[in-house]
Structure 1
């Protein structure tokens, strides 16, 4: 399959799309530890700068000078730490997906599918809200990745779908959920956590946690299992 066509897919996890993005990103910054202990301080600074640049201007419109100027380095210094601008994007996309997937996997499963799905949705949504600028790059700049890098990120994305799919299917088997098409329901649920990166601001009306809880309730209603009286996520 041609690369362009292949990149339009992405399994059940919603793929990238050309959508209107707010240019006002708000006060979010990327903490250095986000990139892992084995990433050097200079590389961390370059990655964090690239996140802001890619989110504001897009990958193709961003130059190496844009990225390095923020941290007071010459354009050529980027290549000391990364093989290319595309390698910077790949590092951001892979790390962002790994962090988001870890947040999803950390959600407790006490054996109740309804509570488990609510926790999964709340964790997924709140992570994307908390890290909305990184997530924006992860969602909307993937088409610029080289095929091998794209495929590696795609494998991570498919794990999101598999995790939520398993929880929803268990709920259907146990008669907790009433949903005619599990695949479509999972796509819609995952989209709740992704679409917000277009508009969310940390200094807005909703905290990441409040948004997560609200969207968890929406997901429960989508599955035909609204929480009676407000089912706690804990």
Structure 2
């Protein structure tokens, strides 16, 4: 981006934007996959787990008393299809949070990310995350990165539960209310053109990350500015 963008807030996607897709679909998915069943069985009285399991049964059309094996089979099928199902994200997030706490997981960010986020932060911009991964997973992920604990950089975390679907403008309008600013003061960075379309419809400014080797590297970003690195994103925080 040759010209700075006026922005009071920078909201970032995670997968394909600040972390390689392989970090999620290989490292994190492979970690959660064998642990889903044991986690469900070991937390029978956890209301968050119970609600997620009930939602899986309802969404998949399973009987209300379907056992763990049937629930896990659905969860695995959703993972194979990369379906952004909220109960799956909830259970994965709980498992990943424990994995980060046990120092079994570390988030690897693209090398241009941390310096850019620190610069935005130092300029006085607010930083937030909007990901299909649960808020619990987001916080855990940024607490254990190859660059240290970055949780202090972010003021808000949004997911499909507290904001809404990532490809619908209403989700971005809801986040604008939480951020307490005008939509034109928010810059959203994502590698998915459909998400950028929804953000732009809500009045946000947008920038697409077309990172070489990532799934959306050759995508048509239309009218959205597209860059290959955060080093090419420049902002100015209005006085």
Q: TM over 0.5, yes or no?
A: no
Structure number having the greater helix percentage = 1
TM-score w.r.t. the length of structure 2 is: 0.29
TM-score normalised by L of structure 1: 0.29
